[in-house]
Amino acid sequence: MTQEKWPVKLPDYRLDGKVAIVTGGTKGIGYAIAMMFAAFGATVVVSSRHQAECDSVAEQINRLGGTAAGIAADVGRPAEVKRLIRETVQRLGDLNILVNCAGVAITKPILEMDEGDYDRVMDANLRGVFFASKEAAAAMVERKHGGRIIQIASIGALKGTNQISTYCASKAAVLSLTKTMALEWSRYGITTTALCPGYVKTEINAAQFQDEEFLAKTLKGIPQRRLGTADEVAAIALFLASDYSSMITGSAIVADMGATSQ
């Protein structure tokens, strides 16, 4: 399909020449996003807390013909986030896309949560998003070429869910933060969007979904009667990272098989 004969601009989701950081990029949705971006031409920085895991995923991308590097960072520590952004720009010369996918969920009733539980979730899910986005935006502003910042939130931001109170609260805060970032950074050509997946089966929750009773109860609340896949979420992230999403900023994109429609 060629552009010349069509009277509309046809989308091309290639990310050639773009440098993208994916936090939480060694597992689950983050891993799928890192692979998807690399397959479409981006140079991907794979980040998580453990350097060996970052290197392993980066090496896999390079073997497949993509381009990647691993840089470990604990997103709950602002100094490490700052180092991640600085090292990315120093090593690769630019930063065009940030995907904040690193996150933590602790499953406990509110009455059993303690301060340590609260801090662990909020540090990863909110503090990490705030400071990673801030540092990435500063790098993008300095280079005067705009950019894309994508927050991986959750439908937990839109509705209460038993026993993951701090997770839901942190993701709801991310949605509000995304709107404010859009107000402040649109003038620099930076878009900020939040992607809210519903239930997605990954290696992290695979054992949970092997429980037939739990799976049946979960599916009953999903109109499509199925779980999502990390690949589907990564495909949406690819669109949000592309030049064809430039009209979208400050928005929450919900991909939940209809779960929040009820």
Q: Which residues are catalytic?
A: 167
CA angle 136–138–139, rounded 5-degree value:
65
Q: Are 246 and 191 in contact (CB under 8 A)?
A: yes
With left for phi above 0 and alpha for psi between -120 and 50, is residue 148 left, alpha or beta?
A: beta
Who contacts 38 (Cβ-Cβ below 8 Å, separation ≥6)? 44, 61, 64, 66, 67, 68
Distance CA 118, CA 131 (A): 18
Alpha-helical regions (H) of the chain: 28-39, 51-63, 78-92, 115-122, 128-143, 165-185, 206-209, 212-220, 230-241
DSSP 10: P
Side by side, the strands of the sheet bearing 190-197 are 67-70, 43-47, 19-23, 97-100, 147-152, 190-197, 252-255
Which position has the token pair 């065009």?
A: 96
Residue type, 44: V
